[in-house]
Structure formats: C-alpha cells, structure tokens
Amino acid sequence: MLFSSHAFLFVFLPLVLMSFHLARHFLGGKAALLVVIAASLFFYGYWNPPFLFLLIGSMLINFGFVKILSANPGRLWLAVAITLNLTILGYFKYRNFFLENLMMASEAFAISGTLDPLVVPLAISFFTFQQIALLIDVKEGHAKISNPLDFAAFIALFPQLIAGPIVLFREMREQFADLRAGHYKGLEFIGPGVIVFSLGLFKKVVLADSIAPYADLAFSIPDQLTTLEAWFGAIAYSLQLYFDFSGYSDMAVGLGLMLGLTLPINFKTPFRATSMIDFWKRWHITMTRFFMLYVYSPVALTFARWSQQRNLSQGITFVIAIALPTAFTFLLSGLWHGAAWHFVAFGLINGIGLVLNHAWREAKLPRIPKLLGWLLTILVVIVSFVYFRAENMAAAATILKVMFWSPVLVLPSWLSVIADNFGLPWQSLSFLASGSYTLRLVLWITLAGIISLSSFNFVERSGTLRASWANAILAATALVLSIGLLDRPKAFIYFQF
C-alpha cells in the first residue's frame, strides 16, 4: 500500500485518522496508541502477510533484550542482541551476495552452484537499525522504556516504518507518554500535517514519477547512450531520487503531524550544498546521524586514542582517526543500501569525497569559492548516483565513460544540419531523437532543478505553519495535481532497502 495509492489516500488514511481521534477523545490516549499500533501492523502486513510475523517476532525479541539491558547493561548482552539482529538482516539481505562472491573466489577450487533468490522483507534495514540504535541507547542509559506500547509504536509506526526517517527513541518517548496521558494537541497539527503531506505527495507523484521514465530508459541502455544522453539520464535520476525519497520523508512527517507526533526532518535542500560535508548534513539526515553516532564516532574515538598514545604525527593521526573511519562508515552505508558492489562503490565515492573535504580543511588550504564548491559537490554526487542507480558495476562504468569522453559530436537528428554544415562527424541520439521528447525532458529537469534549489522548506517550518488561504490553496493545488496522476503508481525507490 503506497502512500501515493488510492487505497491509502481514500480508505486506509481516513479510517485510521478517524479511529485514532475518536479513540483519543472517547477512550483515552492508550486506546489511540493501540489504534496506531494496530493500523501500523496492518499496513506492514498488507504488503506480504507472512513477513508481518518476522516484524512482530523481531519486536518481541528486541523488547526482551531491552528489558535485559535495562536491568543488566553489560556489553555481552548488547553484543548478543546486535549479533542476532545483524544475523537476521544478513540472512535475508546479504546471504546471496556473500555466497555468490565466495563461489566466484572459489572457482579455482571447482566450487560452484546456483542460489535461489530470496525475497527481502520490506523495510528490514530500517526497523533493524532502529532497534539496534535503541538497544545501544538503553545500554548506555540514553533511553528507558517502561511501557510496551511505546516500544511497539516506536518500531512499527506506519508513517516512517517502511523508509524512515530513522527515529531515535529519545525523540519519541515524551511524545508517546504525552499521548498516553492525554496531553495531546494533535488537532492543531492536522492542518500543517495535510500541507506537508500534500507537498510531499506532489514531489513524488508529479515530479519524481514524471522524471522517472527518462532516467529508467537511459539506465536500461547504457551501451547505447551518447554523452548528452548519459548526462541527461544521470541528472534526471539524481532529481528523481531526491524528489522520490524526500517526498516520502515529507509525507511521513505530515502523517506524523496528523497524529500529533513530530518526526525528524530527513532533507534540507541538499542540492544547495557547497561541499561534501555540507551535502551529508542535508541528505538522508537520519541515516547519516545513525552511522555517525553508532559507527563513526566509536571507531574514530578508539583510533584517535590509539594515535595519541603513540604520539603519531598530525598527518598520520588524520588518516587513522578521520580518513579511515569516514571511508569505513560510508562503505557500510553503501552496503546498507543494497547487497551489490555498485552500492559499495556509491558509499566509497561519498566517503572519499568527505575525506578529501576534511583533508582540505585540516590542511587549512584556501577556501574554495562557493560556486566552484557547489559544482564540484554536485559532480561527485551525480557520479555516485550513477553507481547507485546502475544495474551493476559494468553498467555504471559504461555510463561514466560516455559522460566524460566522446570522440564525436552528438546531436539529435533534427539538429544534424548543424553538423552537416560544418562537416563534422555526428551520430543520432538513442532516446532524444525527437524534439518534443527532448523539450519535455529539459522542461522537467529545469522545473525540478529550480524547485530542488529553492531555499524554502515547508517541512522545516511545519511546527509554525498555520491555516491560511495561501497555504490552503497551495496544498489543494498539490493534492489535485497529484491525485490526477495516481493512475501511474510507482513504488518508492527506498522501499527496496
């Protein structure tokens, strides 16, 4: 059940909101929280009912670990809990990847075979990492859970269950407690929630899904692309990914507000970033936060102490305490996205970009002009997104080779007269052959590009949004345009992770 589907918009959401607010008003906060939990479990089970048992089983096991760690916050129990969670995640998501690579490496020993494909449970990476973060916080004393309803709502909350934002329990504890106690101001948030949700729906249905066919076509024929087409395809996908994922995140925040809950912001106009450090403060913020808190910081702190104890030089300390932890963290973030080498490459490219950014600052080199910094950042991001979208490493390499090197002038057939008049070699384009097609693509990229660079972010201002004619007209327009295009449902990109 997609947020952008008729079933969700016209059946599930109205019933849930009506049941939630009626339960809160007549039966109290606990009943309202039970409605949210029941609706969330139904929402997850709607996709693939058998996997609902996996989610519930994971929640029960981890709640047991929470109780154990609350009473005995030792490293052993935490290690057991994390190992079990990662084992389940690894079996479903990474088993075939590691076995396939093991068999490839073992061909010299005549070890071969075939693997049956595994269906990856929806959102397993998200709810696994969210529970791991909770377990660590409980062990460290940063989170305390006394009510099982709070735990269930925290893990299964349908607005963010499938693709985030990755929420920390410390952000939700007081909100759940206030809801259970009846200290609730949810009705004040319904208006802002509808506005934010509507704009997120517009991002997904009108922008991302309209750009998607152009990007899909380009990446489906990597060996047939010309330089111009490869660049158009890479830029189109970068914009599609941003509006698809930020649209989902905005809808999640909007749905949370309709329930009186505030979820963290996941995007802050990332394409305005003027450095890689700046970009990762704006893009998929909650995932970056997770990896910084629970992977990078412990590793970097350990390496920094090790370096200080040995009085290593500043340069070597930088490599050990900053460069290696950064590259390692983003390698893991790439692998978190998918069990394939092109996702690892995506993570490493961003990790290397961040290392170079930190090294430049560490060396106190002259500040790069903002425009040049922006161009370099966008270039690195687009290159990394080519690996993110490509079917495999070879396809990504083919597209990038075409993007950065072409021996001939490439023009659409309707502009070939330019090459003919100057006696230049030319070849026709594969999918920009018609002028109308090219014009539509250019218009969509231009519109999406302008919106992506806009400094105004409704989600950041969701707490202060108030009912007004301007906001009502904006939300209504976004809803009408989006609903008019619901007949072309396309799953959110991050649902596969």
In order of 58, 66, 74, 132, 294, the CA distances from 71 in angstroms are: 20, 9, 9, 17, 22
- Joined together, the tokens standing for residue 426 give 């030319």
Whether the pLDDT of residue 427 is over 60: the answer is no
Here the tokens at position 160 are 């963010």
Going from the C-alpha of 191 to that of each of 2, 240, 254, 401, 475, the distances in angstroms are 22, 27, 9, 49, 10
- What pLDDT does 123 receive? 87
- Are the beta carbons of 212 and 421 closer than 8 angstroms? no
pLDDT score for 367: 92
Q: In this model, does residue 426 exceed pLDDT 80?
A: no
Q: And the tokens for 170? A: 């410390």
User: How many residues are listed for the chain in this entry?
Assistant: 497
DSSP symbol at 142: S
pLDDT band at residue 492, thresholds of 50, 70 and 90? confident
Helix (H) or strand (E) holding 420: helix 416-422
How confident is the model over 76-90, as pLDDT tens digits? 999 999 999 999 999
**260 pLDDT more than 80:** yes
∠ CA 405-378-456, rounded to 5°: 150
Of 123, 142, 11, 119, nearest to 59 by C-alpha is 123
> Percentage of residues in the chain with pLDDT exceeding 90?
64
Residue 433 above 80 pLDDT?
no
Q: What is the pLDDT of residue 416?
A: 59
Question: Which pLDDT does position 332 carry in this prediction?
Answer: 95
Q: Which helix (H) or strand (E) holds 253?
A: helix 227-258
Would you state the structure tokens that stand for residue 210, as one six-digit string? 């309209």
Return the pLDDT at 222.
Answer: 92
pLDDT at residue 23 is higher than 80: yes
CB 250 within 8 A of CB 461: no
Class of residue 256 by CB neighbours under 10 A (exposed 0-12, middle 13-18, buried 19+)? buried
pLDDT of residue 264: 94
Mean pLDDT of 452-475: 75
- Per-residue buried b or exposed e for 148-163, using 16+ beta carbons within 10 Å of the residue's own CB: ebbbbbbbbbbbbbbb
pLDDT of residue 329: 97
Selecting among 21, 284, 337, 342, the annotated active-site residue is 337
pLDDT recorded at residue 465: 66
pLDDT at 375 over 90: yes
Cis peptide before 165 (omega within 30 of 0): yes
| Cα–Cα distance list, 382 to 134, 266, 354, 358, 386 (Å) | 33, 19, 15, 20, 6
Examine the residue annotation and report whether 25 is marked as an active-site residue of this protein. Answer: no
More confident residue, 387 or 434: 387
**Tokens found for residue 343:** 């996702």
479-489 average pLDDT score:
85
The pLDDT assigned to 425 comes to: 52
Q: What is the pLDDT of residues 27-40, one digit of tens each?
A: 988 999 999 999 99
Between 432 and 289, whose confidence is greater?
289
Q: Report the interhelical angle of 169-181 vs 124-140 (nearest 10°).
A: 90
pLDDT over 80 (residue 110): no
Rg of the chain (C-alpha set) = 24
